Structure 1
């Protein structure tokens, strides 16, 4: 029984990893990287006071 539980856990880990990479690739495809970088720069310049 314990071995079966480990196999199910391993399959779930692999599925979640593949889904995460798929969502990451989709975000890159849509151009979300530039938006996130732009927001990060604005936070640094406005809130923290750099620049």
Structure 2
């Protein structure tokens, strides 16, 4: 393999890593925002109702 190919491959991996870090950071920020706005309670309540309906209790 040529040295030029290895440099391109390392550059692609670096871009993928940056994209991954940005997406994970954005996900964490949105989860924390939702938690402080009280959305977690609504989501949990809806999830419980859906599960109870699925097994025939709701």
Q: Assess same fold via TM > 0.5.
A: yes
Aligned length: 51
1:42, 1:29 → 2: CA distance? Answer: 23
Matches of residues 1-51 of structure 1 in structure 2 within 5 Å? 1-50=8-57
Instruction: Name which one, 1 or 2, has greater alpha-carbon Rg.
Output: 2
Q: CA deviation at 1:49?
A: 2.4
Gaps of 5+ in 2: 1-7
Runs of 4+ that moved beyond 3 A: none
TM-score, normalised on structure 1? 0.82
Gaps of 5+ in 1: none
Q: CA RMSD in A?
A: 1.6
TM-score, normalised on structure 2? 0.74
